[in-house]
A and B are shown apart, each in its own frame.
Chain A
Amino acid sequence: MSSGLDVVDLRAGYGAVEALHGVTLSFPLGAVVALLGRNGAGKSSLLRVMAGTVAVSSGRVSWRGRDLARLPPDQRVVAGLTSIPDAPNVFHGLTVAENLAVFGQGIAPDPVFEVFPELRDKASRLAGTLSGGERQMVALGRLLLRPGQALLLDEASRGLSVGAVERLYAVLDDLATPERTIVVVEQYQPDILRRADLVYVLSRGEVAWAGEPGELAAGRLPTAFG
Chain B
Amino acid sequence: MLTLELALAGLGIGSIAALAGLGLLVTYRLTGVFNLAFGAIAMAAAYLLWQAVRVWHWPLALAAVVDVLVICPIFGVLLERFVFRPLQRRAAAPAEKLVASLGVFVVLLGGAVLVWGAQARLDAPSLVPYRQLPLPGGVQLPLSTVVDLAVIIVVGIGLALGQRTRLGLRVRAVVEQRELAELQGLDANRVAALGWAIGSMLAGVAGVLMAPTLRLQPYGLTLVMLETMAVVVVAQLTSPVRAIAAGLMVGVIQAELARVHLGGYSGALFDALTANLFVVALLVALLIVRRLNETGGDDAGTTARLTTRGELASARGWWLVPALTLAAPLMFNAQDRRVALAVPALAIVLVSIVVVSGYSGQISLGQAGFAGLGALIAARLAAGTMPGFGRIPGVAVLVMVPLLMVPIGLLLGWPAIRRRGLFLALTTFAFSVAVSRFVFDQPSVTSGLTVHPPDAFGSDNNFYVLELLCLAAAFLVVRNLHNGRVGRALIAVRDDESGALACGVDVRRLKLLVFAASAALAALGGALLAMGSRAFDTGAFDPTRGLIWFAAVVVFGIDSAPGAVIGAGVLVALDAGLPQGSSILVIGLCALLLGRMPGGLLHSMHRLFDHTVRRIAPGIVPDVRQRPTRAVQLTPAGRAMVGQLRRRAAGGQGVTP
Q: Min CB distance, B127 to chain A, in Å?
A: 36
Query: Please, how many angstroms separate the alpha-carbon atoms of A197 and B644 in the complex?
Result: 10
| Least distance between B460 CB and chain A CB atoms (Å) | 45
Partner of B649, one of A28, A206, A212: A28
Q: Which one, B145-153, B180-188, B251-259, B506-514, is touching chain A?
A: B180-188
Question: In angstroms, how far is the closest chain A Cβ from the Cβ of B641?
Answer: 5
Q: Contact at B634–A211, with CB atoms within 8 Å? A: yes
Within 8 A of A (CB), among B290-326: 295, 297-298, 311-312
**Interface pair B632/A210, CB less than 8 Å apart:** yes
**A101: shortest Cβ distance to chain B, in Å?**
6
Q: Does A62 contact B (CB under 8 A)?
A: no
Chain B contacts for A162, CB-based, 8 A: none
Of residues B180, B607, B626, which shows the largest number of chain A Cβ atoms within 10 Å of its Cβ? B180
**Closest partner residue, chain A, to B297 (CB atom):** A88
Find out whether the CB atom of B182 lies under 8 angstroms from the CB atom of A53.
yes
Flag if B181 contacts A16 (CB, 8 Å).
Answer: no
Task: Across the interface, name the chain A residue whose C-beta is closest to B645.
Answer: A28
* Residue of A9, A74, A206 most packed against chain B (CB within 10 A): A74
Q: Say yes or no: B185 contacts A53, CB within 8 Å.
A: no
Residues of chain A within 8 A (CB-CB) of B176 are: 91-94
Q: Would you call B297 and A215 a contact (CB within 8 A)?
A: no
Q: Is B625 an interface residue (CB 8 A)?
A: yes
In the complex, A63 Cα to B640 Cα: how many Å?
A: 22
Question: Given contacts A94-B172, A197-B641, A208-B632, are A2 and B185 in contact (CB under 8 A)?
Answer: no
Number of residues in B with C-beta < 8 Å to the partner?
A: 49
CA distance A163 to B634 in the complex (A): 34
Complex contact A142–B184 (CB within 8 A): yes
Interface stretch, picked from A18-26, A107-115, A116-124, A182-190, is A18-26
Cα distance A89–B650 when bound, in Å?
35
Q: Decide if B3 is an interface residue (CB 8 Å cutoff).
A: no
Contact status B185-A103, CB under 8 Å? yes
Q: Which residues of A contact B183 (CB under 8 A)?
A: 51, 53, 73-74, 77, 83, 85
The answer to whether A18 touches B185, judged by C-beta atoms less than 8 angstroms apart, is no
B578 in contact (CB, < 8 A): no
CB <8 Å contact, A13 and B625: yes
Contact partners of B640 in chain A: CB under 8 A: 212
- With A2-B650, A178-B652, A212-B641 known as contacts, the answer to whether A78 contacts B185 (CB < 8 A) is yes
Is B476 part of the contact surface with A, judged by Cβ < 8 Å?
A: no
Number of interface residues of A (CB under 8 A): 56
Say yes or no for A31: interface residue by CB 8 A criterion: yes
- CB distance A16 to B169 under 8 Å? no
Does A102 interact with chain B (Cβ within 8 Å)? Answer: yes
**Smallest beta-carbon distance B25→chain A, Å:** 15
A29 touches B185 (CB 8 A): no
Contact of A49 with B by CB under 8 A: no
Nearest Cβ on chain B to A50's Cβ, whole angstroms: 11
Chain A residues contacting B180 (CB-CB under 8 Å) are 85, 88-91
Instruction: Please tell me if the beta carbons of A72 and B182 are within 8 angstroms of each other in the complex.
Output: yes
Q: A103-B184, A206-B632, A212-B641 are in contact. Are A73 and B179 (CB under 8 A)?
A: yes
> A211–B625 contact, CB under 8 A?
no
Specify which of A18, A28, A78, A90 is in contact with B627 (CB 8 Å cutoff): A18
**Cβ of B173 under 8 Å from chain A:** yes
Q: Are A211 and B637 in contact (CB under 8 A)?
A: yes
Q: CA–CA, A13 to B649, complex, Å?
A: 32
Scan residues 165-199 of chain A and give those whose CB is less than 8 A from a CB of chain B.
178, 197-199
Q: Which residues of chain B come closer than 8 Å to A105, judged between CB atoms? A: 166, 185
When chains A and B are docked, how far (Å) is the Cα of A88 from the Cα of B182?
13
- Most chain B CB within a 10 A radius of its CB, from A11, A53, A85, A215: A53
Give the contacts of B149-192 with A (CB-CB under 8 A): 166, 169-170, 172-173, 176-177, 179-189
Contact B626 A102 (CB under 8 A): no
Give the Cβ gap from B338 to chain A, nearest Cβ, in Å: 44
Q: How far is the CA of A83 from the CA of B635 in the complex (A)?
A: 28
Note all chain A residues with C-beta closer than 8 A to B649. 2, 4, 28-30, 178
Q: Is A226 in the interface zone, CB < 8 Å from B?
A: no
Hey, which chain B residues are within 8 Å of A4, CB to CB? Answer: 649
Shortest distance between the CB of B57 and any CB in chain A (Å):
46
Within 8 Å CB of A51, what residues of B?
183
Q: Which residues from chain B contact A40 at a C-beta distance below 8 Å? A: none
Min CB distance B626 to A, Å, is 6
User: Cα distance A98–B297 when bound, in Å?
Assistant: 17
Chain A contacts of B650 at CB under 8 A?
2
Contact B625 A17 (CB under 8 A): yes
Q: Is the CB of A16 within 8 A of B311?
A: yes
The residue from A21, A24, A197, A211 contacting B655, defined by CB atoms under 8 A apart: A197
Q: Is B648's CB within 8 Å of the partner chain A?
A: yes
B170, B298, B312, B625: which contacts A92 (Cβ < 8 A)? B298
A102 interface neighbour in B173, B598, B625, Cβ under 8 Å = B173
Shortest distance in angstroms between B632's beta carbon and chain A's nearest beta carbon?
Answer: 4
* A15 at interface, CB cutoff 8 A: yes
- Given A18-B626, A88-B177, A212-B635: A94 and B169 interface contact (C-beta under 8 Å): yes
Inter-chain contact B173/A94, CB cutoff 8 Å: yes
Q: Report yes or no: B170 in contact with A210, Cβ–Cβ below 8 A.
A: no
Q: How far is the CB of A83 from chain B (nearest CB, A)?
A: 5
B636 to chain A, nearest CB (A): 9
Q: In the bound complex, do residue A93 and residue B635 qualify as a contact, i.e. CB atoms below 8 Å apart? A: no
**Complex A-B: 27 CB contacts under 8 Å:** A11-B626, A18-B626, A28-B642, A29-B649, A53-B183, A73-B183, A77-B182, A77-B183, A78-B185, A85-B183, A92-B298, A93-B176, A93-B295, A98-B172, A101-B169, A103-B185, A105-B166, A106-B166, A178-B654, A197-B641, A198-B642, A198-B645, A206-B632, A207-B632, A212-B635, A212-B638, A215-B638
Q: Which B residues fall within an 8 A CB radius of A?
A: 166, 169-170, 172-173, 176-177, 179-189, 295, 297-298, 311-312, 598, 607, 625-635, 637-638, 640-642, 645-646, 648-650, 652, 654-655
Question: With contacts A72-B187, A106-B166 known, what are 18 further pairs, Cβ within 8 A?
Answer: A2-B646, A16-B625, A18-B627, A51-B183, A73-B182, A73-B183, A74-B186, A77-B185, A85-B179, A91-B173, A91-B180, A94-B172, A102-B170, A102-B181, A207-B632, A208-B632, A210-B632, A212-B640
